[in-house]
Amino acid sequence: QVLLVESGGGVVQPGKSLRLSCAGSGFSFTTCGLHWVRQVPGKGLEWLAVTSYDGNYKDYADSVKGRFTISRNNANNTFYLDMNSLRAEDTAVYYCAKDAGIYSGLPHDSFDVWGQGTRVTVFS
């Protein structure tokens, strides 16, 4: 079974940091690009960040550029989102998602597997 499992969400004060993790299983993790997407409850989906299969390409939405960092550890089939300088408007459910393409230096495929989501609340 193809699975992505997030962890690391929680309640954090503004200005603080948090690291989200997403562990993959049931597929060839090292061949796939990976994304982070968030959703404010009751609102739409916002793409945040992407890393290529080998970690050499990374890109970010303007809303998080300079504050969030995506990374991956192919040795343990896990990728991460390090979130710094958190703001109240970062409060959302965060999803990891797998790019359907393989060995793509610049991921450009649909998101065929999603994690269950982890909730982040930035609250003072």
Partner 1 sequence: IVMTQSPATLSVSPGETATLSCRASQSFGNYLAWYQQKPGQVPRLLIYSAYTRATGVPARFSGSGSGTEFTLTISSLQSDDFAVYYCQHYTYQARWTFGQGTKVEMK
Chain contacts with partner 1 (rule: CB under 8 A): 35, 37, 44-47, 50, 59, 61, 95, 100, 106, 108-112, 114-117
CB of 75 to partner 1, least distance (A): 26
Cβ proximity to partner 1: between 16 and 112 the closer is: 112
Q: Does residue 105 come out as left (phi exceeding 0), alpha (psi in the -120 to 50 range) or beta?
A: alpha
CA gap 73, 56 in Å, rounded: 12
Distance of CA 36 to the CA centre of its chain: 3
* Least Å from the CB of residue 61 to partner 1: 7
Q: Least Å distance between CB 44 and partner 1?
A: 5
Angstrom distance (rounded) from CA 31 to CA 103: 5
